[in-house]
Structure 1
C-alpha cells in the first residue's frame, strides 16, 4: 500500500497526516513558518513529514497538497463616543469599600475648610490623599458638633470603613474618589447602599432633576445618568457649572471589503450584564484581505520531500472531504472550519470565508474586561473558578476544591483561569455566574453570528453543522452555535477518519481526494 502524506499549511499551524492509502498511521502539527504560501512554510512542512515518517518507521511515497494564498485577517478595537450627560458627570460608580446607607446632596468642600462653612449649607466633605482616616474623622466630627450639615464624606484613600467607625453621626462615606474632580464641581450627590439593595435615588431621573434643579432640556441627561447607575451600590454624581461643548459624534471609519463588527454593548445586553461590570464603550471588528503573491506550488513541496506531490485545486473541498469521514453525519451537513482569524463555511457546492473568529473573541474579551490580550486568550476558552481563600476555589457549578499550592492572597475574590503557569487572576468585577453569562453571549454573537451568516449564504436549510479546526476545541462553542442556529439544526464536532478528532480535516481530506483521483 502507498504511504501518503496529506500536507495542510494553514495561516497559524501546519498539519500533516500520514496514511497507508486511507488508513491513518500518524499525524502531527507545528506552527507555520514564514506565513502560509511561503517557501519557508514548505520547508517547515517537509521537516514535519520527515519527523513523523522517521518516528513511525515509514517511507513516504506520495504527498497531497493544495497550494493556497494566505488570508490575512486583522482585529481592531474602536472606542465609541460616550453618551452625553450635559452638566452631570458620574465621578464614581463603585468603590473598594463604603460605609453608611443613605443618599446626600451638597456643595463640595475640602475637609480642612469645614469650619468656615456657613450654617444651613449642606456640604460634601472631601478629603485628599494627604489626610489620614483619623484626621478626617476628627475634622468631620468637629464640624458636625459646630452645626455643619455634612451630607456625605468622600476620601481619596481606601479608608471608608476606618473613617465611618470614628464618626459620631452616621453619614455615607465613599473612598477611592477623584477628589480634585469633585471639588471642581458646583454640587454633588452621593448615595451608598448596604446589604442587598441597589441605588434608589441616583437611579431616579426625577430625583436627579429635582436635587440638581435641572431644566426641561436637561432631563435626558438625568435619564442617561440613571440608566448607567443601575446595579451599582454606591455612586458619586456631580453637577458642573456648564456642559462641555458639544462636538459632532464621529462615526468609526469602516474598511472596504469583508468586515465583521461586534458591539460590546450588544454582548452585555445579551448577557444581561450588570452596568459597570464590563466595558460597553467600544466595538471590535475583524477585516480580511488576500495576498497578491502567488503561493509556493506543489512542485516546491515535491522538491522539498523528494516524492511526487498531487496538487488538489480546492482546499475547501479537501476540508469537506476530510470532515465527512466523521461517523454519523447526514448528507446535507455544512462543514465549518473555525480558525484564529476566519470562519470557513463549506457546503456541498459552495464555500464562503468570513473574517472574525477566535482572535476577534479574544479582542472582545480583552476590551470588555480591560485586560491584556494574553490574559483574554486564556480566559475566553473555558470556565473560571473563584478564589474563595488562598487555598480554596469554587467553580461555576458551585463545587469547591482545595489547591495543592496556595495562590497569592491578593487574588482572593478574583476569577481565575487556567494558564500554562497555573491559575491566572483576570477580573474581580464579575461573579462566576456573570462571567459565564457574558462569555457564552460573546461566543454566540462573535462566532455564532458569523457561522450563521455563512450557513445562510452557502447552506440555507441545512439540518446539520459540523465544526472542525482549532476553534472547534472550545467545548462551549458547540452549545453557543446550537443556541444561535436553533433547534432545527444539529451541531457537532468533527472526528476526522473516526480517530483524528476535530483537527486534520484538510490534511486527511487531501489524501482522500488524491487517492480518489480528484484534483
Structure 2
C-alpha cells in the first residue's frame, strides 16, 4: 500500500510518502505553506500541492496513491484583550510629544498659548507660548517674535506646524524652546495655560514626563494628577513635549472594561477579572483543568474577543456559534500602544494588556468535509488519522538514539502539543493553545509595528545594528566587517539578518528594545507552554520523572527557542534536544511520519 501522511499545521503542511507492508519504507517528503485556517476546506489546495510535490520527487503522481491520511487538525486563533481600552486618556488636557527630529532650543517654557499674529496685542510681562501655523514661514515667524520681545512681551516657547524649529531658533535674539512638526496645529487651544520642554540631543525630557512635575506646573489636585499620568507616560523618552490645559469638557475619558471570564472545567468553575493579569488567569485555569468552556461578561472587551473567535470559527466551519467551545487558553501579560485622543501629533501611550490565545474545539464535521473534498479532487481514498500529539511522538521515535520513555514537545504555529510514551507503549498527550503565531502577535503589538510580516521576520531571525556601510554589530556584540559597502538604506538602522541578506527595520526602535521584546514574547509563550504541557503529561505532574524530551515542529528550528526551553528545564534534569525525524528530516515531519507508521502491517 502506498500512503501519504499529511500534517496540516497553522503555518505549514507537511507530507510523508511511504510504502506500507510488514515494514514501512519512506520514499519522500514535502513542505508547503498552509492555505486557510487549519482544519477548514481551504486546506485542500495546499494538501494537494504538498502531495503532488512529494510524489513528483519519486517520479510518481497522486494517482499512484492508495490512501491519503490526514491528521486531526484543531484550529487555534490568537487575539488580544486589553486590560483597559482607553479611547481618550485625559480629562481637561491636551498634549504633544512625538519626538520631532528638529526641535529648536533647550529647556522648559511655561505660559499661555497665543497665535503669533496676536503678539502685537499681547501685554508685556505675561509669559506666553506662540502658536505658528503653516501660513507663516520661518523668516516671518522669527521677525514677529523678535519684534514682540523687543516691546517687552515675554515669549517662553513656540509650537510650530512646519519643520522649521531650528530655522526659527537660529534667527531669534533671545533663545526659546521650540517644538515643530505639529500636524494638528489647528487643534491647539489658544488662551490656555501650557508647558513646553526640549531636551539636549541624546537626552529625553524630564519635567513633562513626570506627573508630579506636571502637577506642580499646572497646580493640579491629586485627582487631576492621577488623570494626567498617561500623558506623562506617553511623553517618557521623548526629546520634546507640550502639555496644554484645555477648556473643560474638550477631552473626555471613556473606558471599556476588560471584564471577567469564567473558566468551566469538568468538576470546577472559576471566575477571574482580566484586569488582574495573565498570572491570575493561568492560576485559575490550572485549578479547573481540564477546561471545557469559557464564558465571558457581556459588554466587555474579553467578551468581544471570545465572541469574535467563536464567530470566525462558526463561519469557517459552517457550524452554529453555540457548538463552538473554547478548549484551552493561554494568557500572557503584554503592552499595547494606544493612541491618545487628546494628542495633537499622533501620540500614543503604552497600555497594559493581556494577550489571549484561544484554542477552539469543534466537531469532526469540518475535517470530514475536508476529507470528502480531497477525495473528490484527487480521486484517492482519504481518511482522518490519529490524535496529532500521539502521531508526533510516534514520528519522534524515529530519531536516532531515541527510545521510550520519551516526551516530545511539538511547537507549531498555533498550538503546543506534548506527549509522553512509556516503556509499555502507553501514550498520554495534551493539546494547548499558543505557539509561534502568538509570539508574532505579541512582537507586532508591543513594538507597535502594525506589520505582521515584519513581526514574523523579527521572531525568526537574529538582528544587528549597521553602524557604518562597512560593518555591523550583531545583537551578541560581535562585529562583522565587509569588503564591499552595504546598501545605503541600511546605514544607522537595525537590520534583520534574513536568509536573503540584511533587511532594514524602518521604525524608530533600538536594537536592545527589539531583542528584549522578542525574547520576552518567546519566554511568555514557548517556555511557559512547554512547562505547562510537560506538567500535564508527566507522571504525577512531576517533570523530574521525565528522562528524555525531544523538540519537534517548525518552531524547534528557531535560533534561540531550544536554548531557552533547555535553560528552563535545566533544574528538572531531562535530556533535551531537537528531534531528527527518520534521521534526515530534523524536527520537521514528525506527525506526517507518525501517520504513516500508524498503518504499519496493513
2:28 alignment partner, one of 23, 26, 29: 26
Alignment of 1:66-81 (within 5 A): 66-68=70-72, 70-78=73-81, 80-81=84-85
Q: CA deviation at 1:374?
A: 2.3
CA distance in 1, matches of 2:416, 2:62: 35
Q: CA deviation at 1:212?
A: 0.2
More displaced stretch, 459-468 vs 189-198: 459-468
In structure 2, the partner of 1:508 is 593
CA distance in 2, matches of 1:262, 1:181: 38
1:466 alignment partner, one of 543, 550, 553: 550
In structure 1, the partner of 2:101 is 96
| Structure 1 contact 449–484 (Cα < 8 Å) conserved | no
CA distance in 2, matches of 1:71, 1:393: 43
In structure 2, the partner of 1:50 is 55
Q: Quickly say closer, same or farther: Cα 1:167–1:298, change in 2 above 3 A.
A: closer
Alignment of 1:426-441 (within 5 A): 426-441=505-520
CA distance in 2, matches of 1:299, 1:207: 68
1:338 aligns to 2:411 (yes or no) = yes
In structure 2, the partner of 1:163 is 168
| Structure 1 contact 482–491 (Cα < 8 Å) conserved | yes
1:136 alignment partner, one of 137, 141, 151: 141
Alignment of 1:436-455 (within 5 A): 436-455=515-534
In structure 2, the partner of 1:14 is 13
CA distance in 2, matches of 1:403, 1:75: 45
CA distance in 2, matches of 1:215, 1:9: 59
Question: Which deviations, in whole Å up to 9, do the C-alpha atoms of 1:422-451 show, x marking residues without a partner?
Answer: 654434321112211111111111333333
More displaced stretch, 486-495 vs 160-169: 486-495
Q: Quickly say closer, same or farther: Cα 1:281–1:412, change in 2 above 3 A.
A: farther
Q: What RMSD over aligned residues (CA atoms) do the two structures have, in Å?
A: 3.9
Q: Quickly say closer, same or farther: Cα 1:479–1:125, change in 2 above 3 A.
A: farther
More displaced stretch, 305-314 vs 254-263: 305-314
Q: CA deviation at 1:54?
A: 1.0
Q: Quickly say closer, same or farther: Cα 1:341–1:58, change in 2 above 3 A.
A: closer
3-state SS of paired residue (1:94): coil
In structure 2, the partner of 1:353 is 431
Alignment of 1:371-386 (within 5 A): 371-386=450-465
1:148 aligns to 2:153 (yes or no) = yes
Q: Quickly say closer, same or farther: Cα 1:73–1:404, change in 2 above 3 A.
A: farther
In structure 2, the partner of 1:273 is none
Question: Which deviations, in whole Å up to 9, do the C-alpha atoms of 1:141-168 show, x marking residues without a partner?
Answer: 2222222212112212223222222222
More displaced stretch, 172-181 vs 288-297: 288-297
TM-score w.r.t. the length of structure 1 is: 0.82
In structure 2, the partner of 1:270 is none
1:287 aligns to 2:293 (yes or no) = no
| Structure 2 contact 91–252 (Cα < 8 Å) conserved | no
Q: Quickly say closer, same or farther: Cα 1:33–1:217, change in 2 above 3 A.
A: closer
| Structure 2 contact 27–58 (Cα < 8 Å) conserved | no
| Structure 2 contact 199–205 (Cα < 8 Å) conserved | yes
In structure 1, the partner of 2:296 is none
1:316 alignment partner, one of 374, 389, 395: 389
3-state SS of paired residue (2:257): coil
In structure 2, the partner of 1:326 is 399
| Structure 1 contact 185–239 (Cα < 8 Å) conserved | no
Q: CA deviation at 1:194?
A: 1.0
CA distance in 1, matches of 2:549, 2:94: 48
CA distance in 1, matches of 2:450, 2:470: 24
TM-score w.r.t. the length of structure 2 is: 0.72
Question: Which deviations, in whole Å up to 9, do the C-alpha atoms of 1:130-186 show, x marking residues without a partner?
Answer: 333222222222222222212112212223222222222222122222423333572
Q: Quickly say closer, same or farther: Cα 1:8–1:112, change in 2 above 3 A.
A: same
Q: CA deviation at 1:468?
A: 1.4
How many positions carry a matched residue from both structures?
506
More displaced stretch, 140-149 vs 451-460: 451-460
| Structure 2 contact 359–433 (Cα < 8 Å) conserved | yes
Q: CA deviation at 1:277?
A: 9.9
| Structure 1 contact 87–241 (Cα < 8 Å) conserved | yes
In structure 1, the partner of 2:69 is 65
CA distance in 2, matches of 1:436, 1:373: 17
Question: Which deviations, in whole Å up to 9, do the C-alpha atoms of 1:207-263 show, x marking residues without a partner?
Answer: 322210112332323444444443333221222232544545432133262333444
1:250 alignment partner, one of 244, 257, 260: 257
| Structure 2 contact 97–238 (Cα < 8 Å) conserved | no
1:211 aligns to 2:217 (yes or no) = yes
Q: CA deviation at 1:516?
A: 6.7
Unaligned runs of 5+ in 1: 268-275
CA distance in 2, matches of 1:125, 1:103: 14
2:445 alignment partner, one of 367, 371, 389: 367
Unaligned runs of 5+ in 2: 259-300, 307-324, 338-346, 422-426
Q: CA deviation at 1:188?
A: 1.3
Q: CA deviation at 1:357?
A: 2.2
More displaced stretch, 29-38 vs 203-212: 29-38
Q: Quickly say closer, same or farther: Cα 1:91–1:310, change in 2 above 3 A.
A: closer
